[in-house]
Structure 1
Amino acid sequence: MRVRRWIPGIVVAAAVVGGTAWYLLRAAPVSIVTPWRGDAAEIVYASGSVEPHTWAKVAPVVRERIVEQCNCEGARVAQGDVLARLDDSEVRAALGELEARRALAGQEFQRQSVLADKNATSQQALDRAQSELSQIEALVAGQKARLETYVIRAPTPGVVLRQDGKVGEIAELGTVLFWVGEPKPLLVIAEVNEEDIPRVEVGQRTLLRADAFPGQILEAVVNRITPKGDPVTKTYRVYFRLPDNTPLRIGMSTDVNIVIRVAKNALLVPSVAIEGNNIVVVEGETARLREIHTGIRGNNGVEVLSGIDALAQVISPYPAELADGARVTVAAAQR
């Protein structure tokens, strides 16, 4: 009777062992992709904005209220044209006082000169009157120069690309009120990471993407590279020349893709199918780990120089938990 009691337990244990063995030996379903031929491009990525080649920011050098402003946004101006005026009443009042003092000093100098001609005064008194007149004249000249800072003028000929501020508002120091420059030609200015800058050269083709033109690839050319980088952000400023017929406008932001090198008719596999330099292929019903030699690596594809051929069945994405030699079955075949 005891033996009979053990028989059902033995049967159950055998079933469990058999089920575990079946689970461990069953083929793992995988998705495969076949390598394809295409062009691979080595790209340096950055982000930038569109600016004119020639332009200037115009800001006040004194803090005062705006009393006059041109309505010239989009209009062409000449160098020296008045763009705005600030309240200069206090400066003019001070200038008037200095001019009155200059008039009195001039009269005193003339009086001392007449007396000196008659030997009725000393040379010392004449020199003192002349010195006082010279000092006041210098003060008047300085006040007139200061008065000129209350007039905001166009620093260069061009188009008023943008103007800010309103009559009655306080113009703060350093706040840009006008942008004056030429609408064409345009540049894209971007900051490129210092680890990428050694590969960037003048003349390289550049592809641009802008949110204003979805799905449209725009082109530019590397125009120049700033010799000194920023040690804080670890970037270098790069200027890209745009063609005259570009649809991009001043101030637009762009994604910059600098084409460093292009490999024609390269053997490509998906980036997600590679981990380091390893790839897993299906041979029969077995997964095999292969080490490959790669070339250009992009977001969507990686150039394979050696290690597999065009007929390989590559598991994609990379099966990190699949052991070399494991049994597999193809559940899906991609491109």
Structure 2
Amino acid sequence: MAPMEDAVKFARSLLAVTAVMVAAGAYWSLSKPITVATVSPKRGDAAEVVYATGTVEPRTWAKVAALVRERVIERCDCEGQRVQQGHVLARLDSAQAEAALAELKARQKLATAEHDRLAVLVERNVMSLQALDRARSEMGQASALIAGQSARLENYVLRAPMAGTVLRRDGEVGEIAEPGTVLFWIGEAKPLRVVAEVNEEDIPQVKPGHRVLIRADAFPGRTLEGTVDSITPKGDPIAKTYRVYLALPNDTPLLIGMTVELNIIVRMAQSALLLPVGAVQGNAVFVVEGDRARRHELVIGIRGTGDVEILSGLPEAARVIAPYPEKLGDGARVAPQGR
């Protein structure tokens, strides 16, 4: 039996040694410092911005649209050219309207002849005054109808509502122009402005005179500038936006009709203490103190797209873990990279 007891003792000793080794390994693993990357606060300018999109348009311009549904029979070749107020831009087929006017004039002629005939008979006491009054009324109605139809004929001629450049021309001869369809844009090529829609929750921050940074796909990597010129007093309750007009410098490379992205600078802090946005979660950061990570609550100012302004709670020499470690516990052992 002695050999069997020795084997049991040996097995128990081996298990004990194994348990100690596992415990030691677990302790070493748990106490092993976690490698982290750190950043230091820097000084710079922080900007609070309101984002919006907009469209470039002339400051002075007008649309010319068809008022009746009819075929285009004539159109000026004037795109890009200057025209004077009243210049004929296009004509629509007015044959039916002119035929209706001719019919009204014929009716007026008959009504006038009937009136004159009755007037002679009234003078001879052959016809009553009532018949003459009816004839006079019919003659007046015919005149009114002729005036109305003559005015409607003007709708078949599209004229420039102002002096300016024909910025764009749509529609071809032979096409049917629908009522409300814009066929011409007339205006001045300069100065230009941007019309933007700003969300109603942001509009209280936007004021005339605010500087605006502008980006357009047509000019990649280039930031242009403008200024908030005015804000429409009434917002759109459906879209929940307010219209904002931005003034552009005369030398802007932007062209009419371009869509742009806008960053309206509503507040600026110079020489502020900044951290990357990725290092901050809410108002908290993790700071390396010795070989431990300590969680700190900060007072945050401007939250930009790239940096966050730190008002208090963080010394300039601090080493902040970035990006923010989601699963790191307060007081965990860490080893900053580069040490």
TM score, norm. by length of structure 1: 0.96
Distance 2:130 2:239 in 1: 64
Spell out, residue by residue over 1:217-265, the C-alpha distance to the aligned partner (whole angstroms, 9 max, x if none): 2111111111111122211111011111111111111111111121111
Counterpart in the other structure of 2:4: none
1:263 aligns with 2:263: no
Identity %: 58
Match of 1:245 in 2: 251
2:99 equivalent in structure 1: 93
Provide the aligned C-alpha RMSD in A: 1.4
Which residue does 2:283 correspond to in 1? 277
1:126 aligns with 2:126: no
Question: How far apart are 1:332 and its partner, in Å?
Answer: 5.3
1:146 aligned partner: 152
Deviates more, 1:12-21 or 1:308-317: 12-21
Long gaps (5+) in structure 1: none
Distance 1:272 1:244 in 2: 39
- Name the aligned partner's letter for residue 153 of structure 1: R
Structure 1 residues 139-288: aligned runs within 5 Å: 139-288=145-294
Q: Tell me the TM-score normalized by structure 2.
A: 0.95
Q: Is the 8 A contact 1:46 1:191 kept in 2?
A: yes
1:265-284, Cα deviation, whole Å (9 max, x unpaired): 11111011001111111111
Q: Which amino acid aligns with 1:247?
A: P
CA distance in 2 between partners of 1:132 and 1:230 (Å): 50
Unaligned runs of 5+ in 2: 1-6
* 2:113 matches 1:104: no
Number of residue pairs matched by the alignment: 333
Distance in 2 (alpha carbons) for counterparts of 1:163 and 1:13: 88
Instruction: Give me the whole-angstrom Cα distance separating, in 1, the residues matched to 2:30 and 2:237.
Output: 56
Query: 2:13 aligned with 1:7, yes or no?
Result: yes
Give the C-alpha shift of residue 190 in structure 1.
0.7
Q: Does 1:294 align with 2:300?
A: yes
Aligned to 2:310: 304
Shift, 1:119, TM fit:
3.1
- Secondary structure of the residue aligned to 2:228 is strand
Q: Please state how far the C-alpha of 1:52 moved relative to its aligned partner.
A: 1.0
CA distance in 1, matches of 2:338, 2:79: 61
SS in 2 for 1:95: helix
1:27 paired residue number: 33
Q: Secondary structure at the match of 1:208?
A: strand
What CA deviation, in whole Å up to 9, does each residue of 1:277-309 have, x standing for no partner? 111111111111111111111011111111111
1:314 aligns with 2:320: yes
CA distance in 2 between partners of 1:99 and 1:126 (Å): 20
Question: What is the one-letter code of the residue matched to 2:257?
Answer: G
Question: How far 1:14 sits from its partner (Å)?
Answer: 2.3
Once the two structures are superposed, what CA deviation does each residue of 1:158-188 show, in whole Å capped at 9, x if it has no partner?
Answer: 1111011101111112211111111111111
Residue in structure 1 matched with residue 3 of structure 2 by the alignment: none
Q: Is the 8 A contact 1:32 1:332 kept in 2?
A: no
- Structure 2: distance between partners of 1:298 and 1:275: 14
Partner Cα distance (1:59, 1:78) in 2: 17
